[in-house]
C-alpha cells in the first residue's frame, strides 16, 4: 500500500471519530440531558486545556513567543466578532433556535482537524511506522474532544442526528489536511500559524460560552460536579500530552 493510501486511510479513521456521539442515540431524553450537561462541563475543561497545553505549547516551540500570543489573541478576537455577527443575524430578541457557539465550534474544529490531518500526512511522509504512531496519538486526543463537541452542538439547539452529521463534516477536514500534506509535501512550518489561531478560538468558546453555561446551575451539588468534570477535562488533556510526549 502506497503512502497516499496510508494517509487517506488514517485520516478517514480519524474522521469517523466524530460518530462517537452515536452512543447517546439510545438514551431517553431525560438521561440524555443529564449526560449532555456533564459532557459540556468536561468539554469546557478539555477545550481550554487542549488549546494551551497542545496547540499553543506546540506553537511556542515553533514561533517567537510574542508572535504566537499575538496570533492567539487574533484568533480569540476573530471568534468574538464571528459570534457577534452570528448573533445579530440569527437571533431575535435574545432568543436563538441554534446558539452561535455551535457554529463556532464547527469552525474551530474544522481548522483543528485540518491541522491534525496535515500532521498525520506529514508523519507518513517520514515513514509508515511513524505515521501509524502519530495517528494513534491523534486518535487518543480526538475521542474526548469529539464527545465534547457533540455535546456542545446538541446543547446549542441542534438535534442529535444533525449534530452527528455536522460533527462528521467538520472532522473530515482531517482528510483534506492529509491529502494537502501529501500533495504539497507539508512540514510543520506550514501549519505553525494556524495552531495559535485555533487555540485562541477554543479558549474563546470555553471561556465565553461554556463556562457561563455552567454558572447558570444553581444547585450546589451539581455545580461542584460540573467543576469536577471541568477539572477532569483539563487533567485528561494534560495526561494525553504527556503520553504523546
Q: Give the side-chain half-sphere CA count within 13 A for 37.
A: 18
Burial profile 97-136: b = 16 or more Cβ within 10 angstroms, e = fewer: ebbbbbbbbbbbbbbbbbbbbbbbbbbbbeeeeebeebbe
Q: Is residue 137 within 8 Å of 188, Cβ to Cβ?
A: no
Give the Cβ contact number of residue 4 at 10 Å. Answer: 15
Give the pLDDT of residue 114.
86
Q: How buried is residue 92: exposed, middle or buried, by Cβ count under 10 Å (0-12/13-18/19+)?
A: exposed
Domain residue spans of the chain: 3-16+29-244
pLDDT tens, per residue, the chain with 245 residues: 688 899 999 999 988 888 877 777 777 777 777 777 787 888 888 889 888 988 888 889 888 999 999 999 998 998 888 777 766 544 544 555 556 667 777 888 888 788 888 878 877 876 788 788 778 777 866 776 777 778 778 877 788 888 888 888 888 889 998 898 888 775 556 567 878 888 888 898 888 877 887 887 777 887 888 889 999 989 988 887 787 66
Give the pLDDT of residue 97.
59
Give the pLDDT of residue 89.
45
Distance CA 132, CA 152 (A): 30
Give the pLDDT of residue 244.
64
Distance CA 210, CA 199 (A): 15
Amino acid at each position: 500500500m502506497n503512502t497516499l493510501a496510508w494517509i487517506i486511510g488514517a485520516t478517514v479513521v480519524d474522521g469517523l471519530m466524530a460518530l462517537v456521539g452515536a452512543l447517546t442515540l439510545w438514551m431517553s431524553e431525560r438521561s440524555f440531558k443529564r449526560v449532555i450537561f456533564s459532557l459540556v462541563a468536561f468539554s469546557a475543561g478539555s477545550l481550554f486545556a487542549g488549546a494551551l497545553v497542545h496547540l499553543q505549547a506546540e506553537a511556542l516551540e515553533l514561533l517567537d513567543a510574542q508572535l504566537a500570543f499575538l496570533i492567539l489573541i487574533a484568533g480569540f478576537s476573530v471568534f468574538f466578532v464571528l459570534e457577534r455577527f452570528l448573533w445579530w443575524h440569527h437571533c431575535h430578541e435574545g432568543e436563538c433556535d441554534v446558539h452561535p457557539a455551535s457554529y463556532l465550534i464547527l469552525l474551530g474544529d474544522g481548522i483543528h482537524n485540518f491541522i491534525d490531518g496535515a500532521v498525520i500526512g506529514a508523519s507518513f511522509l517520514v515513514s509508515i511506522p511513524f505515521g501509524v504512531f502519530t495517528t494513534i496519538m491523534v486518535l487518543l486526543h480526538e475521542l474526548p474532544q469529539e464527545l465534547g463537541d457533540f455535546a456542545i452542538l446538541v446543547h446549542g439547539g441542534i438535534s442529535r442526528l444533525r449534530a452527528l452529521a455536522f460533527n462528521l463534516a467538520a472532522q473530515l477536514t482531517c482528510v483534506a489536511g492529509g491529502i494537502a500534506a501529501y500533495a504539497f509535501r507539508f512540514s510543520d512550518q506550514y501549519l505553525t500559524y494556524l495552531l495559535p489561531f485555533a487555540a485562541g478560538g477554543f479558549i474563546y468558546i470555553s471561556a465565553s460560552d461554556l463556562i457561563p453555561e455552567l454558572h447558570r446551575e444553581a444547585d450546589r451539588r451539581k455545580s461542584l460536579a460540573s467543576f469536577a468534570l471541568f477539572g477532569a477535562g483539563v487533567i485528561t488533556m494534560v495526561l494525553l500530552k504527556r503520553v504523546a510526549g
